[in-house]
């Protein structure tokens, strides 16, 4: 009998419209966290909220009651500075208590300024140095393949020879893609045909000190990843039906890893933040926070 005989749980019957509401609440909580901390990154987290809502409420097999289940899907936030949006998502999903919402970056808080591995709250990896998370995700995916090949125990099999495997998801930034380690990991994933790996490139065109197109142009990004022998899907990363379709499509691919180029609007949902690179690495003051929360709250009704 397997050590973990239970099945991972997933929220049921979430429509795309409901996921839009979840993503908006994630944005609201992200801003509240950043406002309380007084430091952090704002633009990217607001832009990627739709992707995380889709992942955690429709796509990934994870269970807040059993966060260490070895059969769980894994998520790696390689762009680790965007961690407030991950915490906000994990709060909505039930991994983290609402009472911890305003403890971001506080002494003794579990909610660090960058990802810090804590499986009990659903954070899989420690991050900070850009370009490293995708390599970790490749390692996780390769380990999953090796376990399956070795015939590890299965649970609730529908067929005697069916092997239970997990999938690995990873979010990288387009500015982060300046790092050569991203492309080294991409080559390795293709070499080992890691079709249990799905990377999302947050294509928001901003980074700390300018637009990413000024700092280091990435286009033609789709052609680059295709040349590395990846399955490439390009979508509007703020359109949840498109995002859900992309994840579904990636799951059907055999023999190669997938990457979703998610074109997102940094600062999404807050009029004075949208598409402004200046909001990459700063937080709103009290007046700006009130305006931003009012806009997002209006979208929630």
CA angle 113, 300, 234 (to 5 degrees): 65
pLDDT tier for residue 15 given thresholds of 50, 70 and 90: confident
Over residues 229-262, the pLDDT tens digits come to 999 999 999 999 999 999 999 999 999 999 999 9
Q: Are 267 and 275 in contact (CB under 8 A)?
A: yes
Over residues 126-185, the pLDDT tens digits come to 998 899 999 999 999 999 988 766 555 545 444 434 445 799 999 999 999 999 999 999
The sheet with strand 231-236 has its strands ordered as 74-77, 168-173, 197-203, 258-263, 231-236
Cα(45)–Cα(243) distance, rounded to whole angstroms?
A: 16
Q: Are 255 and 4 in contact (CB under 8 A)?
A: no
Q: Are 218 and 174 in contact (CB under 8 A)?
A: yes
Residues 6+ apart with CB under 8 A from 263: 203, 204, 234, 235, 236, 237
**CA separation, residue 168 to residues 18, 138, 197, 207, 234 (Å):** 24, 8, 5, 25, 19
Cα(133)–Cα(77) distance, rounded to whole angstroms?
A: 7
pLDDT tier for residue 73 given thresholds of 50, 70 and 90: very high
pLDDT at 162: 43
- Nearest by Cα to 285 from 298, 272, 275: 272
Q: How many CA atoms lie within 13 A of 240 on its CB side?
A: 21
Give the homologous superfamily in CATH for domain 16-300.
Thiamin diphosphate (ThDP)-binding fold, Pyr/PP domains (3.40.50.970)
Q: Are 57 and 19 in contact (CB under 8 A)?
A: yes
Range 5-27 average pLDDT: 75
Over residues 179-220, the pLDDT tens digits come to 999 999 999 999 999 999 999 999 999 999 999 999 999 999
């Amino acid at each position: 009998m397997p050590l973990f005989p239970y099945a991972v749980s997933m929220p049921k019957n979430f429509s795309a419209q409901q996921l839009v509401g979840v993503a908006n609440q994630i944005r609201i909580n992200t801003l509240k966290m950043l406002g309380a901390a007084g430091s952090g990154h704002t633009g990217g987290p607001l832009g990627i909220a739709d992707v995380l809502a889709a992942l955690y409420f429709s796509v990934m097999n994870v269970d807040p009651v059993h966060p260490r289940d070895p059969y769980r899907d894994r998520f790696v936030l390689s762009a680790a500075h965007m961690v407030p949006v991950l915490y906000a998502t994990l709060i909505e999903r039930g991994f983290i208590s609402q009472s911890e919402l305003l403890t971001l970056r506080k002494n003794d808080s579990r909610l660090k300024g960058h990802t810090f591995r804590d499986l009990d709250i659903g954070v899989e990896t420690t991050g900070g140095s850009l370009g490293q998370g995708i390599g970790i995700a490749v390692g996780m995916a390769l380990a999953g393949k090796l376990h399956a090949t070795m015939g590890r125990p299965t649970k609730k099999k529908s067929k005697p020879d069916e092997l239970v495997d997990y999938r690995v998801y990873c979010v990288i930034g387009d500015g982060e893609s300046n790092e050569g380690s991203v492309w080294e990991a991409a080559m390795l994933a293709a070499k080992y045909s890691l079709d249990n790996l799905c990377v999302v490139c947050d294509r928001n065109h901003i980074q700390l000190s300018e637009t990413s197109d000024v700092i280091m142009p990435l286009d033609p990004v789709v052609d680059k990843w295709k040349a590395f022998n990846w399955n490439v899907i390009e979508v509007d990363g703020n359109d949840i039906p498109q995002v859900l379709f992309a994840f579904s499509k990636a799951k059907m691919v055999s023999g190669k890893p997938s990457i979703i180029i998610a074109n997102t609007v940094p600062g999404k949902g807050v009029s004075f933040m949208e598409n402004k690179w200046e909001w990459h690495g700063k937080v709103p003051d009290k007046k700006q926070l009130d305006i931003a929360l009012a806009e997002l709250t209006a979208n929630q009704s």
